[in-house]
Structure 1
Amino acid sequence: MSHPEIPPGWAGQVALVTGAGTGIGLGVARALSDAGLRLALTYRNPAQAEAVVAQFAAEGRAAPLLLPLDVTDRARWAEVVAQTVAHFGALHVLINNAGVSVFGNADEASHADYDWIMGVNFGGVANGLVAALPAIRAAQGKRGVVNVASMAAFLPGPQAGLYTASKFAVRGLTESLRYNLAPHGIACALCCPALTRTSAWDSALKRPAAYAESGFGPVDETALRQFGTAFEAGMDPDEVGRKIVAGLVRGDGLILTHPEFADDFREIYEESLAALPQEEAPPARLEIERLRRAAMAQAKAGIAVGLADLT
């Protein structure tokens, strides 16, 4: 298959997508398939994996390599990357997509709440990077990493403190990692989708027993399912997937899939500027910040930067 918006160089490359059994992960997988990439897809639910295999076959797509993965399992991550490289001969692209959406007041959260949400949403991304980056650095041709966060990486909410913290962490890591990967010729993007037509709202109903000691109130399944109806108004995950892949091949550092946040970003910008003290900074501090900006520009241009470049 081919996609008219995909430039040459990506067909035949190998992509590993986590959480690809449904939702955005599956949407990304189908868009990558359209671009001619070969796919290793991870899943938690065997029934979803079977459905993906059937869907790809019915649509005439090349069969993906399906691999079970809990993204918090570091040993399994190493096996997944090794199996992918053994099967295809290389790994060029990592799409860190798997995550959980859990809501509750942050002031009531337990250690188990933090361990679960941060462990999956941030720890899962970190585990993927540690496992996959050596193979991606060793590969040839077009390569890239996309860490899928959320608009919660910019917009906090009263019921999403831990979820927001995990997505802010993914944002900070990805925006820094971009400068490290540029000298290797590896694209690195932060993707922040918003409301998407998925079942992401039901994570609290699938809480692992190991993290059962929650400080959040008991799950009100009726209220949760009512909340889930909002997702029916969300963007089609295939559209999100196409936008992610288009951003990857353009080399975008930030991929925003939904257009409805101009007012929010304007407010963040204006509040941030207004919070800066209205006073002169001393020359020595200004010089340090000039060096920082120059180092960032160098790194973005693909020039390796060290601590010596910052003073």
Structure 2
Amino acid sequence: MQAQGGEWAGRVAFISGGVSGLGFGIARAFALAGMRLALSYRNEDYRSKAAAWFADQGLEEPLWIKLDVTDRAGFAAAADAVEAHFGGVHVLVNNAGVSVFGNTAEASYDDYDWIMGVNFGGVVNGITSFLPALRRADGRRHVVNIASMAAYLSGPQAGIYTASKFAVRGLTESLRYNLVPLGIGCSLVCPALVATNAWDSAFRRPEAFADSGFGTVDRAALEHFGKAFEAGMDPLEAGQRILSGMGQRRGLIFTHPEFAEDFAAIYAESMEALPQEEAPPARLEVERMRRAANKAALEGREISIADLN
């Protein structure tokens, strides 16, 4: 199968965790759109299976980079390697993450350090390492940070995971205001259930973070929970929806439609929680300036703290 042409054809993309699950779905969607890829991986078996797909499709083999996304020096070296290999980098997809569940009231420091370190710290490392290369490149450029519907929806068994995704959401929404004036698009992606093996992250906990407050992993219970993922969206379809959102320059990309009830409840609860009173004129003016500055940033103007006062 030959890669299709289009606005992204020939653009170079780096995808963390790009050899399995949603990351591989994104990689396939990008490759079929004519993009050139660098994919990070940790599991050799996943990398081999991904390589076989590219060969079977007659597509250019990606640049493979073995990387732990919590390794800042390794991430910096990866950015240098991608830019040197392709001559530039245009798209960064911070995808790698872990899905770990347990009672947050029982969580240990190791639980926080591992989950936040990968899910939020990995995004921070990707942005810090790759953004200089994106700034040096020309034409269409984009940063994509993969969060989750957990960035909006909390629950009793995923507190630290949810915190990490809320953090990615806040960082990405703010970063967008800084990148648009530089000509770089920025999208927060919040997928829901995708047909992947993301549920089994607890089996891959590093020894350095072995002191978990969640207790011993119940393999049978976790494997039963993992069956729900079989109902998930095909990773390639999710990748294609993400690519479409990038093309439309969307700051927020939802891949799944089944959350109208949740968002209506969030809106109603938020409005009900607001005090029913008039705010002082001085405070109203501060918020007016904040909104105006945000609008100006999305229209391409660099905003300084002076614009907020």
Q: Tell me the TM-score normalized by structure 1.
A: 0.98
Residue matched to 1:36: 34
Q: How does 1:110-189 map to 2 (within 5 A)?
A: 110-189=108-187
1:237-274 CA distance string (max 9 Å, x none): 01111011111121100000000000000000111011
Residue matched to 2:259: 261
CA distance in 2, matches of 1:200, 1:302: 37
CA distance in 2, matches of 1:54, 1:222: 32
State the SS of the aligned residue for 1:292: helix
Please tell me whether the aligned partners of residues 145 and 189 of structure 1 are also in contact (alpha carbons under 8 angstroms).
Answer: yes
State the SS of the aligned residue for 2:227: helix
State the SS of the aligned residue for 1:279: coil
Residue matched to 1:191: 189
Tell me which moved more, 26-35 or 166-175: 26-35
State the SS of the aligned residue for 1:62: coil
CA distance in 2, matches of 1:256, 1:9: 21
Correspondent of 1:13 among 11, 23, 26: 11
Residue matched to 2:200: 202
CA distance in 2, matches of 1:244, 1:189: 9
Identity %: 62
Question: Mind listing any 5+ residue stretches in structure 1 that lack a counterpart?
Answer: none
Residue matched to 1:51: 49
Residue matched to 1:310: 308
Residue matched to 2:241: 243
CA distance in 2, matches of 1:136, 1:71: 19
Correspondent of 1:73 among 54, 71, 74: 71
CA distance in 2, matches of 1:10, 1:241: 14
Q: Tell me the TM-score normalized by structure 2.
A: 0.98
Please tell me whether the aligned partners of residues 195 and 230 of structure 2 are also in contact (alpha carbons under 8 angstroms).
Answer: yes
Tell me whether 1:98 sits opposite 2:96 in the alignment.
yes
State the SS of the aligned residue for 1:115: helix
Q: How does 1:214-233 map to 2 (within 5 A)?
A: 214-233=212-231
Correspondent of 2:25 among 24, 27, 30: 27
Tell me whether 1:272 sits opposite 2:270 in the alignment.
yes
Q: Which runs of 4+ in 1 moved over 4 A?
A: none
Please tell me whether the aligned partners of residues 42 and 69 of structure 1 are also in contact (alpha carbons under 8 angstroms).
Answer: yes
Question: Mind listing any 5+ residue stretches in structure 2 that lack a counterpart?
Answer: none
Residue matched to 2:280: 282
Please tell me whether the aligned partners of residues 91 and 136 of structure 1 are also in contact (alpha carbons under 8 angstroms).
Answer: yes
The alpha-carbon deviation at position 2 of structure 1 amounts to 4.5
Please tell me whether the aligned partners of residues 89 and 134 of structure 2 are also in contact (alpha carbons under 8 angstroms).
Answer: yes
**Aligned amino acid, residue 136 of structure 1:** L
Please tell me whether the aligned partners of residues 90 and 134 of structure 2 are also in contact (alpha carbons under 8 angstroms).
Answer: yes
State the SS of the aligned residue for 1:16: strand
State the SS of the aligned residue for 1:130: helix
CA distance in 1, matches of 2:231, 2:51: 27
State the SS of the aligned residue for 1:255: strand
**Aligned amino acid, residue 137 of structure 2:** A
State the SS of the aligned residue for 2:92: strand
State the SS of the aligned residue for 1:210: helix
